[in-house]
């Protein structure tokens, strides 16, 4: 992957019970924060809320789909105050998260 190839991401946030209403405003700020420092593509992020049926505790599951501008963008994000101002308060609200880089499959 070169430095111009976008990286499509699927992020699953497992939010602790009772933290959903605090988490949602941060999730809404996530993609705008990435865009403000040119780390995400112009393709708007999509987000979904679900309730796990088994095996993941009591909280809600939020799923976000977005594109990093390139493979280096996540590393840069960790050094960017605009992004860290969203990520840092998210951490204590989570029971866990999965970061999945997606690629197309020919069917």
Residue 52's pLDDT is what?
66
DSSP 37-69: TT-B-SSPPEEEEE--SSSS-SS-EEEEEEEES
Q: What is the pLDDT of residues 2-37, one digit of tens each?
A: 578 999 999 999 999 999 999 999 999 999 999 999
Q: Which residues pair with 62 in a beta bridge?
A: 13, 49
Residue ranges covered by each domain of the chain = 1-6+21-52+70-107
For residue 60, what are the CA distances in angstroms to 21, 49, 50, 63, 80? 10, 7, 6, 10, 28
Q: What is the pTM of this model?
A: 0.89
For residue 69, what are the CA distances in angstroms to 47, 74, 78, 98? 18, 9, 15, 19
Residue 61's pLDDT is what?
92
Calculate mean pLDDT across residues 78-87: 98
């Amino acid at each position: 992957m070169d430095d111009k190839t976008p990286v499509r991401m699927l992020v699953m946030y497992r939010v602790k019970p009772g933290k959903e209403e605090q988490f949602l405003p941060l999730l809404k700020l996530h993609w705008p924060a990435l865009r403000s420092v040119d780390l995400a593509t112009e393709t708007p992020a999509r987000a979904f809320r679900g309730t796990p049926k088994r095996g993941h505790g009591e909280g809600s599951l939020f799923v976000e789909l977005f594109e990093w501008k390139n493979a280096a963008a996540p590393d840069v994000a960790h050094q960017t105050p605009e992004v860290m101002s969203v990520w840092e308060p998210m951490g204590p609200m989570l029971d866990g998260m999965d970061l999945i880089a997606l690629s197309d499959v020919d069917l």
